[in-house]
Amino acid sequence: MSATPDRTACADLDAADPLAGVRDRFVVRDGLVYLDGNSLGALPLQTPSRVAAAVEQEWGQGLVRSWMDAQWMDAPVRVGDKLARMIGASPGEVVVAESTTVCLFKLICAGLAMQRGRTVVLTEEENFHSDLYVAAGAARLCGGTVGVVPRARLLDALDDRVAVVMHTHVDFRTGFMHDMRGLSAAAHEAGALALWDLCHSVGAVPLQVNADGADMAVGCGYKYLNGGPGAPALLHVRSSLHEALRNPIPGWLGHAAPFAFEPSHRPAAGLGSMITGTPHILQLAALESGVDLWLEIDMAVAREKSIALGELFIQLVEDRLDNAGFTLASPRDPERRGSQVSLVHPKAYGIVRGLIERGVVGDFRAPDICRFGLAPLYTRYVDVWDAVERMGNLLSDGDHLDERFAEKVAVT
Amino acid sequence: MSATPDRTACADLDAADPLAGVRDRFVVRDGLVYLDGNSLGALPLQTPSRVAAAVEQEWGQGLVRSWMDAQWMDAPVRVGDKLARMIGASPGEVVVAESTTVCLFKLICAGLAMQRGRTVVLTEEENFHSDLYVAAGAARLCGGTVGVVPRARLLDALDDRVAVVMHTHVDFRTGFMHDMRGLSAAAHEAGALALWDLCHSVGAVPLQVNADGADMAVGCGYKYLNGGPGAPALLHVRSSLHEALRNPIPGWLGHAAPFAFEPSHRPAAGLGSMITGTPHILQLAALESGVDLWLEIDMAVAREKSIALGELFIQLVEDRLDNAGFTLASPRDPERRGSQVSLVHPKAYGIVRGLIERGVVGDFRAPDICRFGLAPLYTRYVDVWDAVERMGNLLSDGDHLDERFAEKVAVT
């Protein structure tokens, strides 16, 4: 490891950063070190006017005609096609709908139905809790069960009862990144479908879902994609499964002829059948804006920067805060790490809250994790330096032990 | 019936209208006669700035802290409580989520689960097609069946196998309004739960869901509530059912402690358990704006105007277009009619398309219905006069027979 960089060295890295100019395309308050883009991505500068156009021109002036004239009707598929380019899928293999949890519900039910004779949804206990909740709910309704096993034992549990293996690609707590290709292949070898949650991957790491064998996937619109609070989710299914696919929540917008008012549901062609109700047009406008910005970016360059930010963060913590009681929760190997650094500390909650007061926004994940997202489009090397600097000051001042942090209030 | 009013008489009615000033609080283009507020409500003037504030201040500046600081987390319940006032429910009995179809799915599954030993979801074949689709989907997953019978035979089919009776309160095609109190009582007498779809009721007619015996309900945010394209839906359940209620799509935002990361789903208290994923904050901002405007309005006054508009429309068609081949599809009795007038005509499609070209926006519902929504907050008596006038001109010019209307393209 090289010598500990100082702030000037970090500023030099920013000056040489090929993505430096991209930061200017986001709203980031002066002085704020925002390391929570993995929870809610920052606002692209171009987004307010695009949402305003959807509200004032398309809704206000175009009114109901905008379903056709402003292509509202196509929005879930159009934005899905753009997302397909980001995740290595083909046009027609991604749509946008509801939330990741509702989309997971649809895919788990559909997966169980496609895998007759197999009833188990297998996942790891380290998975995001909402994924565990909805898997249990979906399996209950679909006559299946959920197998929840420790990560290290998942492959042992992969037998011929397993219909679907569900993984979150990048662990929300630690940033640990699974081997999508290897685990998908293992699922296929056992006759199971590979379902991937890309919430902490899309916009964070390069993705090639088709090449890596993902059968189905969901992903979040409001984290690294910068699609705004409550952005709808991406839902991916590889095309060879489309014909067998059945939406467990069939609705008019997924009908082959929504305005024919047929008494029975006749699914739309392809993935359109997975749409249920009226698309959330205003959220889609914001999401499309974030995705459009991403499509101008070379993901390999973004990934390179993200790794460099992570390496810098870890080095600064290890060099400058080596007696502060932190343990690295994220993988040391950058190839296995998403775009975040997580640190375990017994006073993690107080540290995160104290840092927020000092203008560094990360978040706390129970029971003892400080989590710092390193969104490569708007995070600078000096932000990482300032975060570690202020964390050091906080710890030496002891503010993180303040009694106002005794009761843990949710930090999203 | 009094003498046929002329346009001056209609203008006089507008001058005397206690709601005349409310029209100025909406964006309505000069010269446009917008009679499709039952499909997509007009844009309230106050909404663009409220959406912009959610985007620019809350998201852009507040970032992830807005989940607490801007009360994003409470939005589904807060807006739900406001909607509860509009539909005659109590605080805590309404939340906002996803779409009406997804909410129906949740309530049908929950209803079947609460009614052990009963497996039938009973509804009428006249119901909105998405309701029929999702009922079939939900029943299939939940081990039930759907009984779809003609409206006139529904009560005969109400036996002790029926778990849930699902009605759309106001028929989307004709505007026929069901007797909520009578049908809910009949459902209860048979031991069934009464589930109401209020899509064409909320903001259109006075509602007292609790007094009228509704057990559960859904409603649309983007029609008469003016919540914007793709606004999320209202989901109502009377409080005495909350304890037995189980969300079939359990997710982290419906957990008692979303950030405790517990391995199993422990439902939030009350109706909060029916929330699944992250709320659609931008759509909620627009919806709340529309609902706030409604809460300033006396619904009895709005209903009186809505009926007067409907009576005027029917009279003008009957008096001035009596040989044009129209049949009234809506109830003649205003007490049984929602806030729309529907006319059957063999050339309905060409009429609706031809009217749009003449600045009158209604919509077509297959196979032969011209549908005109009479949103009382921004529709004037002269709009009704102009609509019928232009319809007469269209018919005498014969433009509705133009070959460009030969192929029916969806008119939303």
Cis omega before residue B263 (within 30°)?
Answer: no
Residue B71 Rama label (left phi>0; alpha psi -120 to 50; beta):
left
> Do B200 and B216 fall into the same domain?
yes
Q: List, edge to edge, every strand of the sheet that includes B340-344.
A: B327-328, B340-344, B369-373, B363-365
Same domain, yes or no, for A144 and A259?
yes
CA distance B151 to B124: 5
Same domain, B170 and B253: yes
CA separation for the pair A277, B199 (Å, rounded): 13
For residues B223-246, average pLDDT: 98
Q: Is the ipTM of this complex over 0.85?
A: yes
Tokens of B63: 């970032």
At A404 the pLDDT is 85
Which pLDDT score, from 0 to 100, does residue B189 have? 98
- Average pLDDT value for chain B: 96
The residue of chain A with its CA nearest to that of B231 is: A280
Domain boundary among A295, A328, A357: A295
Q: Is residue A197 within a helix (H) or strand (E), and if so which, with residue range?
A: strand A193-197
pLDDT band at B259 (very low <50, low <70, confident <90, very high): confident
| B259 neighbors A410 (Cβ within 8 angstroms) | yes
Helix (H) or strand (E) holding A351, with range, is: helix A348-357
Domain with B16, as residue range(s), is: 7-45+298-405
Taking only Cα atoms into account, the Rg of chain A, rounded to an integer number of angstroms, comes to: 22
Contacts of residue B66, defined as CB under 8 A and 6 or more positions apart, other chains included, come to: A229, B58, B59, B72
CB pair distance less than 8 Å for B56 and A232 = no
- Domain end, chosen from B232, B259, B294, is at B294
Is A212 assigned a catalytic role? no
pLDDT one-digit tens code per residue, A288-319 = 999 999 999 999 999 999 999 999 999 999 99
B56–A412 C-beta distance less than 8 A: no
- Quick check: B369 and B342 in contact, CB under 8 A? yes
The percent of residues above 70 in pLDDT, for chain B, comes to 99
B289 and B304 housed in the same domain = no
Cis peptide leading into residue A334 (ω within 30°): no
Helix (H, G, I), strand (E, B) or coil at A118: coil
B316 and B203: one domain?
no
Model confidence at A370, in pLDDT bands (50, 70, 90)?
very high
Give the Cα separation of B105 and B144 in Å (integer): 13
| pLDDT tens profile A73-96 | 999 999 999 999 999 999 999 999
Q: Which of A82, A223, A238, A353 is catalytic?
A: A223
Tally A–B CB contacts below 8 A. Answer: 273
Helical (H) or strand (E) element with A295: helix A281-295
DSSP 3-state of A63: helix
Separation of alpha carbons A341 and A1, rounded Å:
18
Q: B interface mutation test: which of A249, A342, A379 has the most B CBs within 10 A?
A: A249
Q: Which residue is associated with the tokens 């839902």?
A: A235
- pLDDT confidence of residue A259: 86
Looking at the structure of chain B, the number of domains it has is: 2
pLDDT at B410: 56
Among the listed residues A172, A222, A326, A364, the single catalytic one is: A222
Domain assignment present for A53: no
- Contact across the interface for A232 and B280, Cβ inside 8 Å: yes
Contacts of B230 in chain A (CB under 8 A): 72, 278-284
Each residue of A236-246: pLDDT tens digit?
999 999 999 99
Interface contact B39-A276, CB threshold 8 A: no
Q: What is the pLDDT of residue B368?
A: 94
Residue B352 C-alpha, separation from nearest chain A C-alpha, in angstroms: 13
Residue A51 lies in a domain: no
pLDDT of A412 above 70: no
Q: What is the CATH number of the domain that holds B342?
A: 3.90.1150.10
Report the candidate in A133, A140, A136, A203 with the shortest Cα–Cα distance to residue A169: A203
The two three-digit tokens of residue B240, written as one number: 């005495």
Longest distance between any two alpha carbons in chain B, whole Å: 71
* Nearest in space to B224 (alpha carbons), one of B172, B152, B164, B149: B172
Q: Residue B325: what pLDDT?
A: 95
Give me the pLDDT at residue A245, please: 96
Contact A43 B27 (CB under 8 A): no
Residues A76 and A186 in one domain: yes
Q: Which residues of A touch B232 (CB under 8 A)?
A: 280
Gap from B47 CA to chain A (nearest CA, Å): 8
The CATH code of the domain that includes A127 is 3.40.640.10
Provide, rounded to the nearest whole percent, the portion of chain A with pLDDT above 70: 99
Same domain? A125 vs A252: yes
Query: Are the Cβ atoms of B410 and A278 closer than 8 angstroms?
Result: no
Taking only the tens place, the pLDDT of each residue in A21-45 is: 999 999 999 899 999 999 999 999 9
pLDDT attached to residue B153: 97
Shared domain for A239 and A314, answered yes or no, is: no
pLDDT tens for each residue of A156-165: 999 999 999 9
Token pair for B59: 């998201």
Interchain proximity A98–B100, CB inside 8 Å: no
- Looking at CA atoms only, how far is residue A241 from chain B in angstroms? 20
Q: Residue B410 falls within a domain, yes or no?
A: no
Tell me the chain B residues in contact with residue A42 when contact means C-beta distances shorter than 8 Å.
60, 63
Contact assessment for residue B390 and residue B357, using Cβ atoms and an 8 Å cutoff: no
Instruction: Give the 3-state DSSP-derived string for chain B, with helices as H, strands as E and coil as C.
Output: CCCCCCHHHHHHHHHHCCCHHHHHHEECCCCCEECCCCCCCCEECCHHHHHHHHHHHHHHHHHHHHHHHCCCCCHHHHHHHHHHHHHCCCCCCEEEECCHHHHHHHHHHHHHHHCCCCCEEEEECCCCHHHHHHHHHHHHHCCCEEEEECHHHCHHHCCCCEEEEEEECECCCCCEECCHHHHHHHHHHCCCEEEEECCCCCCCCCCCCCCCCCCEEEECCCCCCCCCCCCCEEEEECHHHHHHCCCCCCCHHHECCCCCCCCCCCECCHHHHHCCCCCCHHHHHHHHHHHHHHCCCCHHHHHHHHHHHHHHHHHHHHHHCCCCCCEECCCCCHHHECCEEEEECCCHHHHHHHHHHCCEECEEECCCEEEEECCCCCCCHHHHHHHHHHHHHHHHHCHHHCHHHCCCCCCC
Q: Does residue B60 fall inside a structural domain?
A: no
Q: What is the length of chain B?
A: 412
Record: contact B63-A36, CB cut-off 8 A: yes
Residue B181 placed within a domain: yes
Catalytic residues of B: 128, 197, 222-223, 371
- Would B368 be classed as within a structural domain? yes
List, in sequence order, the alpha helices (H) in A53-192. Answer: 66-69, 75-87, 100-114, 129-141, 180-189
Give the chain B residue nearest A70 (alpha carbons): B229
Average pLDDT, chain A: 96
Active-site hit among A26, A34, A105, A128: A128
For B350-405, what is each residue's pLDDT tens digit? 999 999 999 999 999 989 999 999 999 999 999 999 999 999 999 999 989 988 88
Out of A295, A313, A328, pick the residue that ends a domain: A295
pLDDT band at B408 (very low <50, low <70, confident <90, very high): confident
Q: Is residue B57 part of a domain?
A: no
Of the candidates B72, B141, B361, the beta carbon closest to that of A64 is on B361
User: Model confidence over A172-215: pLDDT tens digits?
Assistant: 999 999 999 999 999 999 999 999 999 999 999 999 999 999 99
Structure tokens, B86: 């509009």
Residue type at A299 in one-letter notation: M
CB contact at 8 A, B87 and B218: no
pLDDT at B2: 77
Above 60 in pLDDT, residue A411?
no
Residues A209 and A304 in one domain: no
Of B125-129, B130-134, B260-264, which range is least confident?
A: B260-264
Judge if B75 and B156 occupy the same domain: yes
Using a CB-CB cut-off of 8 Å, the residues of chain B touching A265 are: 132-133, 136-137
Q: Which residues of B touch A60 (CB under 8 A)?
A: 27, 42-43, 48
On whether the CB atoms of residues A178 and A159 are closer than 8 A, the answer is no
State pLDDT tens for residues A111-133.
999 999 999 999 999 999 999 99
Which residues in chain A have Cβ-Cβ distances shorter than 8 Å to B66? 229
| Strand pairing class (B233-237; B216-219) | antiparallel
Hey, are the CB atoms on B252 and A101 less than 8 Å from each other?
yes
What pLDDT, on a 0 to 100 scale, did the predictor assign at position A407? Answer: 74
Q: Which residues of B94-113 are buried (b: 16+ CB within 10 A; e: fewer)?
A: bbbbbbbbbbbbbbbbbbbb
Q: How far apart are alpha carbons B32 and B17 in whole angstroms?
A: 20
In a domain, B352, yes or no: yes
List, in sequence order, every beta strand (DSSP E) within A231-314: 233-237
The residue among A133, A203, A45 whose CA lies nearest residue B275 is A133
From residue A66, give the alpha-carbon distance in Å to each of A63, A69, B408.
Answer: 6, 5, 18
Same domain, A339 and A237: no
My answer on whether B234 and B308 are in the same domain is no
Cα-Cα-Cα-Cα dihedral sign, residues B139, B144, B149, B155: negative
